[in-house]
Structure 1
Amino acid sequence: MSGDGARDREGGSFWRDNSLTLAFGSAFLVVLFLQALAGHAQFNEDLAADGLQRIGLGEYLMSSDFAVDVSENWQSEFLQFFLFVFGTVWLVQRGSPESKELHKIGTESDRDQRAGDHARADSPRWAGTKDWRQGLYSRSLGLVMGGLFLLSWVAQSIAGMSAYDEQQLRRLQDPVGWGAYVLSPDFWNRTLQNWQSELLAVAAMVILSVFLRQRGSPESKPVGSSHGATGVEG
């Protein structure tokens, strides 16, 4: 019996077996709620400064200002993972657990990927096919991340245009269309601020994990691994 199969059969409580997703999902909801409260307070301060009536929390949650603040962060996160998932197929970093082993650059063989004739009994059904289904499934993670990035990018652009036009009207200036807003400095200032921070975070994680360790984390190499060990998880 393989080690992976034995561990899977040990089972455990629902909370333990899904604790990573549950913890981060719960933290996301808490932070999103706190962001809504802080954003609502700031938005009302801006309204008061312009001599306008304050709005309630529910109205703020339905506003374009809240939507653009949320969506611009989401699209940068999904972009980060989309680039990382696809980039690590071909790009490597010697000594990093975030990289695969140096000799495995590329999409790898069916044997390495347990696909086609090399699929196992517990492999996903589409992994054992030899047609478009395997091709689609074998790239499904990156494609979904890319799709989520595009959807959140479009949502950000639409909500950002609406928020921008509201400010234009407050200043007694003409609103702009979607095309003009997507080419505007306001849109790209918001967008590039997030992109550069996400790319920096990935680059820092990749290179720092070469020399630094976090005992027990799969994002780190084992404490005693050499700095040159690549693709090894703790």
Structure 2
Amino acid sequence: MRRALRDNGLSIGFGLLFLAALVGQAFAGRAAFNERQLADSGRQLTLLEYVTSSDFAVDVAENWQSEYLQFLLFVLATVWLVQRGSNESKLVENAGTESDEQQKVGKHAEPDSPEWARTGGWRTAVFSTSLGVVMGVLFALSWLAQSIAGRSAFNAERLAQFQDPLTWFGYVGSADFWNRTLQNWQSEFLAMVSIVVLSIYLRQRGSPESKPVGAPHDATQESG
């Protein structure tokens, strides 16, 4: 058990942080929602009612889609785009999809390489793009969830004000939807730029997200 916890500490640690933050968001979000309901003479919601409401769903989904978009773009962009000196970039001369030998596929696979990396053909082609594809699907699903939950929450407000509800296409083209979307996207893009540039000049000893403390600023793709 101790070894399993050690070997999977990163995923377990962040998984627990995710659950703790999600629970905290549920309690804080319900409190904020009920405060607005009280001011508007609306009905207070129980915790279960709130976490199954469109208001909670849209707040969660809009953050998830921006995070998956961040990783999708980073996974795809770093195939071709490089940043000399950044630990988040591969070597400048390796820009592109790289050779089979570099990627250890087909006849260049090692004994412990994944089976689909060794077999060649469509299996290797699928496996070679599986990370980007899955990230893209997760982004699309969470973006769709945001649009559906967001429309429901937005229309609830419109109906309370005796306004006609919007169709899904009408909501996706609305200012409310794009305000929710872009305010998350811009923060993700800023974070990506920050880690790429700051990792050129700053260090964190022992972190694979940083170069070794003594590595020169122009060293690229080194882990410390």
Normalised by the size of structure 1, how large is the TM-score?
A: 0.94
Letter in 1 for 2:167: G
The whole-number CA distance in structure 2 between the counterparts of 1:219 and 1:162 is 40
- 2:119 aligned with 1:136, yes or no? no
1:153-168 aligned within 5 A: 153-168=143-158
Deviation at 1:130, TM superposition (A): 1.9
Separation (CA, whole Å) in 1 of partners of 2:88 and 2:39 = 48
CA distance in 2, matches of 1:130, 1:16: 34
Residues 141-191 of structure 1: per-residue CA shift (max 9 Å, x gap) = 111111100000000000000000011111111111100000000000000
> Aligned residue for 1:19?
9
Instruction: Report what 1:85 is aligned to.
Output: 75
2:22 aligns with 32
Report what 2:60 is aligned to.
70
- What RMSD over aligned residues (CA atoms) do the two structures have, in Å? 0.7
Partner of 1:4: none
Give the aligned partner of residue 58 of structure 1.
48
1:184 and 2:174 matched: yes
Residues 1:110 and 2:100 aligned together: yes
* Partner SS state of residue 43, structure 2: coil
Total equivalences in the alignment: 223
Structure 1 segments, 4+ long, off by >6 Å, are none
AA aligned to 1:179 is: F
Q: Offset of 1:81 from its aligned partner?
A: 0.2
Q: Choose which of 32, 43, 46 in structure 2 pairs with 1:42.
A: 32
- Name which of 153, 161, 173 aligns with 2:163: 173
CA distance in 1 between counterparts of 2:120 and 2:110 reads: 14
Alignment-derived partner of residue 112 in structure 2? 122
- 1:124 CA displacement: 0.3
2:192 to 202, 208, 222: 202
Q: State the alpha-carbon separation in 2 of the partners of residues 53 and 132 from structure 1.
A: 56
Over the matched positions of the two proteins, sequence identity in percent amounts to 60
Whole-angstrom distance in 1 between the partners of 2:49 and 2:124: 46
Cα distance, 1:121 vs. partner? 1.1
Task: State the 1:58 CA deviation.
Answer: 0.3
Residue 55 of structure 1 and its aligned partner are, at CA, apart by: 1.1
